[in-house]
A and B are shown apart, each in its own frame.
Chain A
Amino acid sequence: MKNYLPLILGMMTVTYIPRLVPLITISRKPINPIVKRFLQYIPYSALSALVIRGILEATPDMRVATVSGICGAAICSYLKGGLILSVIIGIITAYLILQIHM
């Protein structure tokens, strides 16, 4: 793939539409509860699958650091709940483990 513009424009469209449509339609039409729950659960299953994918696809030399970073962020988030703090703790944990590991 040399010309990325079609891909970028396509991705822009499928990203923007789900963000825009509910905001401008603001309908209170009752949607099927199963569909509603299905949509509600997507973020959680997506986040979870993405994290596991990150671990499984990490190169062998990065795997321990990746797992430690994720664990560090998870523990911090569970105890303290801050998003930014958790990210920073995650990166620092990964960095320290990488230093020891290497």
Chain B
Amino acid sequence: MVKKQKIKAGIKDGLTAGFPIVFGYLPVAMAFGLLSRNTGISLKDSAMFSILVYAGASQFMAIDLIKSGLGAGNIILATFLLNLRHLMMSASLSIRIKEIKRKWLIFIAFGVTDETFSIISLGDKELTVPFLLTVNSLAYFSWVSGTVLGYLIGNILPAAIQSCLGIGLYAMFIALLMPEVKKSSATLAISLLAAMLYGVLDYFKVISSSSCIIAAIVIASFVGALIFRNTENEVKLLEGANLMQEDLLLQEDSHRRK
């Protein structure tokens, strides 16, 4: 009985936490379906992208690169580099869900996206299997159904709205970036560097657009990793200093009592 109640609570929490993702995903997925259709990809293939790959930014990039005539190998490489970020997200999640059995992790891992990760890790809910699967399923089904919906009826929408749906993706990117930039000046510097690098590389057109993206990401992150060497240590030192101060205060306190 207790177990059943826990499952119910997990699903309920998952629905509440995951609900905003539906609003974020539907317009962007519709934009993907529409873009995919306008690129001449069949409904079946467009749906397969969303069902099997299930990675928003990568799917848009893939369509873009297909349009510019890039081969499958290069698109897969670019996708891999773009998705390396999920490595860190999964790693940081893994510390919090140690008790979960491996068979569930296989499903949970598939649903790790920028948005589900942010919502799962920023919330204060206990990370149970029902909770995680509910959040992930909500996001997954809105992404897949949005894709099909966009493909089928996207053309009915007025042209101005059609063109604006795609901007939703960039709005989502910047909305994910802003809170991080606000928190850390290192992140701000790295983001600006990546943007500048992309701009410069793109301006000179020595390499293709997808290579520009990869080069900008790798160089900016690497330079950041070399320059902002002490950020973590500084935090640790500060924490250490605070602990020492508390210790001293406690000691003084006990002295006084004596």
* Residues in chain A within 8 A of chain B (CB atoms): 1, 4-12, 14-16, 18-26, 33-35, 37-57, 62, 65-66, 69-70, 72-74, 76-78, 81-84, 86-91, 94-95, 98-99, 102
Contact = CB atoms under 8 A, between A and B. Distances in A.
Interface SS of A by simple majority: helix
Q: Nearest 6 pairs between A and B by C-beta?
A: A90-B171, A45-B194, A73-B171, A86-B175, A48-B191, A22-B91
Given A11-B79, A39-B88, A46-B57, 5 more contacts: A20-B110, A35-B225, A66-B170, A77-B178, A78-B178
A45 B98 contact: no
B106 A20 contact: yes
B157 to A, nearest CB: 11
**Chain B CB within 10 A, most for which of A4, A35, A65, A82:** A4
Interface residues of B, number: 99
Contact of A51 (B82, B98, B173, B217): B173
Interface in B228-246: 228-229, 232
Contact of A15 (B53, B106, B228): B53
A45 B216 contact: yes
Contacts of B53: 8, 11-12, 15
Interface in B8-54: 20-21, 23-24, 27-28, 41, 45, 48-49, 52-54
Interface of B: 20-21, 23-24, 27-28, 41, 45, 48-49, 52-55, 57-58, 62, 64, 66, 71-73, 75-76, 79-80, 82-91, 93-95, 97-98, 102, 105-106, 108-110, 112, 114-115, 118-119, 160-161, 163-165, 167-182, 186-187, 190-195, 197-199, 202, 209, 212-213, 216-217, 220-222, 224-226, 228-229, 232
A87 B23 contact: yes
